[in-house]
Structure 1
Amino acid sequence: MTQTLPAPAAGTAAPAPGGRIRRLLLGAPGDPRWSRPALWAILALAAALYAWDLNSGGYANSYYSAAVKSGTQSWKAFFFGSLDAGNYITVDKPPMALWAQELLARVIGFGTPALLLPQVIEGVAAVAILHATVRRAFGHPAALIAAAVLALTPITVAINRDNNPDTLLVLLLVAAAWACQRAIDTGRLRPLLLSAFLIGCGFNTKMLQAFLVVPAFAAVYLIAARPGIVRRLAHLVAAGAVLAASSAWWMLIVDAVPAGRRPYIGGSTDGTVWDLVIGYNGLGRVFGENNGPGGGRGGGASFGGQAGAGRLFNDIVGGQISWLIPFAVIALAACLVLLWKRPRTDLARAALLLWGGWLAVHYVIFSFAEGTFHPYYTTALGPAIAALTGAGGALLFGAGRRTARLTWVWPPALSAAVAVTGAWAFTLLNRTPSWQPWLRWTIAAAAVLAVAGLLIGRFVRRAGTRAAVAGAALAVVATLAGPGAYAVSAASTASNGTNPQAGPSTGSGPGGMGGGPGGMPGGFKGRAPGGAPGGQNSGGPRQNAEAGGQTPGTRGDWSRRSGGMRGGFGGGPGGGETSTQMISYLEKNQGNATWLLAVSSAQSAGSIILSTGRPVIAMGGFTGSDPAMTVAKLQQYVKDGRLRYILLGGGMGPGGGDASVTAWVQKNGTLVKPAEYGGTSTSGSTGAQLYRLG
């Protein structure tokens, strides 16, 4: 249990600077001597996993990377989160996660370090804050276990080596949990308001997903906080006001700007942030979207497998997050039994309810969501699983050593948790029997010996503490070896920027096709939507070297750097293709136009932006289906001299198949013959065609 240190006497001088440094490095005077060095070791391990061979990440997710590059060229693009510096359309998320990368890029220059170092720092910071939160409620051993579990969570390692917004979201939510727990413990309003503010920042990182922790935080504060019921309710009302303000400020500002003076909001149906919140990034994720990517009811197969109670344990997602879910659930139930008769304000029980609520809500939403669902979303489960594993393991082990009265609870619970977790790890590893075949048998043996040691240590007097400690050590091996191996795999393999995952390919996904890192996003082998080989990031140095291209930040052969597709770049849904010769031609003939080119989707536009550093219009947003482009808007761009070239083709028209735009271009534009830029009869297998406008 947590040790309570006496408060300093009034008038006591503040610690000297040297004392602060010593406290930082070695811990507080009352801490065990091994605690702080062990924490530093775990943080160093996390940093090594997240930052190892970081340059292999290249541009990571080129969709967000293009927005970062644009944000370094235009403060307007910075604020709105625009994909292009000309501010035609935004990415489909709020810009807070981009801001850290863009600010660093403005200081050190755009490239892999600016894109991925903030992710590494945010990931390590989340581990440190989780440690501090768990330590306050459950003590040092529990905190170290929790920190180690989060650091080794496979999907967390994979996403922290990528530039998706989930890394910042996890950091903000863990910090919000720390603040909420402190508010429960002290009864003060200020930490609760801080927690609400941090969740609001999470909203401006990934919208409604940030709110999944709110039910647990509010319920636990209402149940367990120190103030009376009236003050608790008043505090929650105040926190709700802060949450609303910190969540809505960016949305209200953006939607208040006239549509003609701001970029179209990518992912929306009407160009507003509000529609994006309740639609594509809100109810559409839960109930599925008609014609949306990965929608359950109308949008095709989900990247994470079929919705249902078993989704988090399936062949695609199971190896990413589910290793310790059995341990966390069993430990939570057993510990609530142990602590149920404690006072209402007991911090340990409140913390269990907080992390248990976090886990339960995320599990339900992620399991049954019928819209777009990527495996990397489950990194948000990592902190709750880690906290419950650390707290549950330490509480159950400590309870058995303190009193015989709890014999009926802790040996069966702890032993069952280890046994079930070991068996599940064996099952996960058995799905890829050729990958590290020795590991699953090692885990099985460690689990059996761990259970035996824990039971012998409790019931055989002569064995005593030695057997119990040996059993606990073997339990750590049995529970962490599997996710640790996947974590190392993620750290030593170039990330798939679009759909990062850890470990080996399971060979199964939607439709029975490849679903792991060796397959393309969503489980389909072959080429990813950006044209890159399945399982590879778009434009990473390793891929470039194999294709004879250049590293990020250099020009070289653009077509090879932008996806490795021979002769050009596959534009994804509705993207068409652009060749090196075409890009050179466009650069020479752009003149004073704002945009180099207009293409159907962000898959094409992002890679051209990264290669040339010039604004490119993605007429239909991420997938090419956003109704962002109209004939009137296109006519105005041409009249003002802001756009001179447009690429049509690839099976979809601009703006989700808007035939009127295509017809207007074909009637009023001039088809550029491939011979003018040194191309062939068509610009690619899709038959995309370049038109000159005006």
Structure 2
Amino acid sequence: MTLVSADPAEHPAAGPEQSDAQAAPAPRISAYRHRIALGLLLAGTAVLYLWNLSASGWANAFYSAAAQAGAENWTAMLFGSSDAGNAITVDKTPAALWVIDLSVRLFGLNSWSVLAPQALMGVGAVAVLYAAVRRAAGPGAALLAGLVLALTPVAALIFRFNNPDALLVLLLVVAAYCVQRGIEKDAGRWWFVAAGAAVGFGFLAKMLQAFLVLPAFAGAALVAGNRTLGRRVLDVVTAGVAMVISGGWYLVLVELWPASTRPYIGGSQNDSIVELALGYNGFGRLTGDETGGLGNLNFDAGPGRLFGWQMGADIAWLLPAVLVCLVAGLYLTRRAPRTDPTRAALILWGGWLLVTAAVFSFMNGIVHPYYTVALAPAVGAVIGIGATLLWRHRSDIRAATAMSGAMAVTAVLAAVLLARHDDEFWWVRAAVAVAGVGAAVLLLMVGRLDRPAVRGTAVLAIVAGLAGPAAYSISTAAAPHTGSIPSVGPSRGGFGGLFAAPEPGPSLTARLSEGADRYRWAAAVVGSSNAAGYQLATRAPVMAVGGFNGTDPAPMLPEFQQLVDDGAIHYFIRSRIMAGGFGGHTPSGSRAAVEIAEWVQTHYQPVVVDDVTIYDLTQHATNPTNT
């Protein structure tokens, strides 16, 4: 990967000497050209992320149903409840839901109002990444960084989906930009306050994953800050305090709120958001010790995970090239002043990349391929900065060799990844192989080429390096994606079957909807994805017994029996996970949902509607509810 910028106005050392009269107009022309290029980049990103967005329907119905609930009920919105009856929350803090809730309140409940906020977050992330990289390495590097982010397949997936990762990525890019500003000369400490606040709010989107960038942010601030060591330490502490306040207020609020007047905290076994943050969504993701989890086998944990069948197509395309760019960039800036902004940016973005990649590679708890979207901004930034530095030194055979080697490895890796869907991408695979080899050869001798050939080489290298991920991103955008575990590429939909929301037939929908306003919950069913499907179809609250996996003790059997006695629940729906098993996995956690399902089946008469078995809980039970 390389970036050409032969414009003397941008890099004076790259072009011939000019008189003041000749050089004067160049900065204005260059600035205008780059503004046009930025506009095209953002417009193209918007098209990629917004085009045919409604094809995915509700996408992740789990979060769409929660957005429906939050748009109808302020308590449900505050806590991220799965339903407007406020039985249980989603298994995340609800910052990402707040954005969607507001969109649904403004524009009504539909696919666009649910998914468009994430697409706009993607455009915003590209814009902020451009701004950050431009400050460190110039507009050419910034354009390349933004292009890489926009065309990373997992970014094209997640910024068209309603998982919380989209907001997390945007907030972390904003935080990185603020750190870069904070370490510059004469910068105010408020930049670090803003950085801490952005990370803290990122915690409210996806909890402890937001903190993976902290070593890189702190390292860049301490190494390169334009202040004395004591003040640099104070900057980091200030950012930390802002982060704790920005993210911690919500935990305090939930812990102090009377449990009887709020929904149960989904994903926890003790109705505790602190437990959720530190356990199921915290250290349990690293160790695999997750009460309420599915006993993930994690057979692919290790250094090759990011290149494997699960994650490779999402993020691996440029990983070898980004490592070359990082090492080369740090080497080329080794003699720069301590406060050099380019090296500071490499420390920041490179540290983000290495720490996050290591955690994703070796974590033993629940991990999904789409998590790798958190790597995409760092990949883009390091490629943009490192490739630009190498290009400026292209006359040095060592730099030319590094660029040539990175290009060759990128082409080989792209061919391997594309071969996994050979029927779909055979022509791209052939084109990348030919263009990649040609670009690698030309890069090796680029220092001896004339200017037109130099420009052509740069264009060829960029096209060859990005053709593979671009093809995958376009195929990702062209396919509908649903379920809780979406995947990139031409394959349709997400994780087949296990967590897909049901689509009830017309007779069942009418049956559940009839008189629903007379009940707190029109129905109850084990598992949040099951409840989401029925809730979105009926637009009435449906209780998710046991939360997402059906393993939360919410409600317990006596509580459920009391709600039935009070006439709060109309129907109970038999589901495929009522027996407590998930496709061969035996989940840990509470068996309350299984006990409730067994009690209903024992005491109420089943009725089959549209091939689904339901139980009318308002009918007289065959035995007293206290048995």
Relative to the length of structure 2, the TM-score reads: 0.89
Distance 1:417 1:72, change over 3 A: same
Residue 134 of structure 2 corresponds to 135
Note if contact 1:598-1:616 (Cα within 8 Å) is conserved in structure 2. yes
Deviations 1:359-395 (A, max 9, x none): 0011011011111111111011000000111111111
Q: Distance in 1 between the 2:107 and 2:609 partners?
A: 37
Residue 614 of structure 1 corresponds to 540
Residue 84 of structure 2 corresponds to 85
Note if contact 2:479-2:493 (Cα within 8 Å) is conserved in structure 1. no
1:502 to 467, 470, 488: 488
Note if contact 2:481-2:494 (Cα within 8 Å) is conserved in structure 1. no
- 1:586 CA drift (Å): 3.8
2:361 to 367, 370, 373: 367
SS in 1 for 2:318: helix
Amino acid at match of 2:591: G
1:597 to 514, 517, 523: 523
Q: Distance in 1 between the 2:379 and 2:241 partners?
A: 30
- 1:159 CA drift (Å): 0.9
Distance 1:259 1:227, change over 3 A: same
Amino acid at match of 2:60: N
Distance 1:530 1:370, change over 3 A: closer
1:424 to 413, 425, 433: 413
SS in 1 for 2:572: strand
- 1:450 CA drift (Å): 1.3
Residue 68 of structure 2 corresponds to 69
Q: Distance in 1 between the 2:492 and 2:119 partners?
A: 23
SS in 2 for 1:646: strand
Distance 1:28 1:164, change over 3 A: farther
Is 1:487 paired with 2:473? yes
5 Å matches for 1:286-305?
A: 286-290=286-290, 292-294=292-294, 299-302=295-298
- 1:81 CA drift (Å): 0.4
Note if contact 2:69-2:82 (Cα within 8 Å) is conserved in structure 1. yes
Distance 1:98 1:256, change over 3 A: same
- 1:631 CA drift (Å): 2.8
Equivalent residue pairs, number = 589
Residue 422 of structure 2 corresponds to 433
- Larger mean Cα displacement after TM superposition, 76-85 or 415-424: 415-424
- 1:226 CA drift (Å): 0.8
- 1:330 CA drift (Å): 0.3
- 1:651 CA drift (Å): 5.2
5 Å matches for 1:165-204?
A: 165-186=164-185, 187-204=187-204
SS in 1 for 2:569: coil
SS in 1 for 2:289: coil
Is 1:308 paired with 2:302? yes
Residue 585 of structure 1 corresponds to 511
Q: Distance in 2 between the 1:192 and 1:588 partners?
A: 54
Note if contact 2:512-2:538 (Cα within 8 Å) is conserved in structure 1. no
Q: Distance in 2 between the 1:417 and 1:161 partners?
A: 30
- 1:425 CA drift (Å): 1.0
5 Å matches for 1:233-248?
A: 233-248=233-248
Residue 605 of structure 2 corresponds to 672
SS in 1 for 2:183: helix
1:355 to 343, 349, 371: 349
Deviations 1:555-602 (A, max 9, x none): xxxxxxx43xxxx5xxxxxxxxxx654443343355632111111111
- 1:127 CA drift (Å): 0.3
Deviations 1:386-408 (A, max 9, x none): 0111111111101235xxxxx14
Distance 1:443 1:113, change over 3 A: same
Amino acid at match of 1:429: L
Q: Distance in 1 between the 2:95 and 2:227 partners?
A: 34
Residue 282 of structure 1 corresponds to 282
Note if contact 2:530-2:575 (Cα within 8 Å) is conserved in structure 1. no
- Larger mean Cα displacement after TM superposition, 585-594 or 437-446: 585-594
Residue 543 of structure 1 corresponds to none
Residue 114 of structure 1 corresponds to 113
Deviations 1:42-93 (A, max 9, x none): 1111111101111212111100000000111101101010000000000111
Residue 548 of structure 1 corresponds to none
How many percent of aligned residue pairs carry the same amino acid?
A: 41
1:627 to 553, 561, 577: 553
SS in 2 for 1:337: helix
Q: Distance in 1 between the 2:293 and 2:424 partners?
A: 32
Residue 211 of structure 1 corresponds to 211
SS in 2 for 1:237: helix
Residue 332 of structure 2 corresponds to 338
1:397 to 391, 394, 398: 391
Q: Distance in 1 between the 2:222 and 2:67 partners?
A: 41
Deviations 1:585-630 (A, max 9, x none): 3433556321111111112111111011111111110111111111
Show structure 1 runs of 5+ residues with no match. 5-26, 402-406, 505-516, 522-526, 532-537, 539-561, 569-578
Q: Distance in 1 between the 2:307 and 2:452 partners?
A: 35
Relative to the length of structure 1, the TM-score reads: 0.81
Residue 462 of structure 2 corresponds to 476
Note if contact 1:334-1:409 (Cα within 8 Å) is conserved in structure 2. no
SS in 1 for 2:543: strand
Residue 146 of structure 2 corresponds to 147
Note if contact 2:486-2:493 (Cα within 8 Å) is conserved in structure 1. no
RMSD, aligned α-carbons: 2.4
5 Å matches for 1:520-531?
A: 521=495, 527-530=496-499
- 1:319 CA drift (Å): 1.1
Note if contact 1:646-1:692 (Cα within 8 Å) is conserved in structure 2. no
Note if contact 2:265-2:273 (Cα within 8 Å) is conserved in structure 1. yes
Deviations 1:213-258 (A, max 9, x none): 1110011101110110111112221211111111111111011112
Note if contact 1:620-1:628 (Cα within 8 Å) is conserved in structure 2. yes
Show structure 2 runs of 5+ residues with no match. 11-25, 581-588, 621-627
Residue 646 of structure 1 corresponds to 572
Q: Distance in 1 between the 2:196 and 2:235 partners?
A: 11
Note if contact 2:567-2:618 (Cα within 8 Å) is conserved in structure 1. no
Amino acid at match of 1:255: E
Distance 1:665 1:450, change over 3 A: closer
Amino acid at match of 2:55: S
1:657 to 570, 591, 595: 591
Note if contact 2:279-2:290 (Cα within 8 Å) is conserved in structure 1. no
Q: Distance in 2 between the 1:66 and 1:651 partners?
A: 19
Residue 22 of structure 1 corresponds to none
Q: Distance in 2 between the 1:61 and 1:179 partners?
A: 32
- Larger mean Cα displacement after TM superposition, 110-119 or 172-181: 110-119
Is 1:125 paired with 2:124? yes
Note if contact 1:638-1:693 (Cα within 8 Å) is conserved in structure 2. no
Residue 510 of structure 1 corresponds to none
Amino acid at match of 1:657: R
Residue 10 of structure 1 corresponds to none
Note if contact 1:166-1:206 (Cα within 8 Å) is conserved in structure 2. yes
Residue 19 of structure 2 corresponds to none
Q: Distance in 1 between the 2:196 and 2:482 partners?
A: 33
- 1:290 CA drift (Å): 4.9
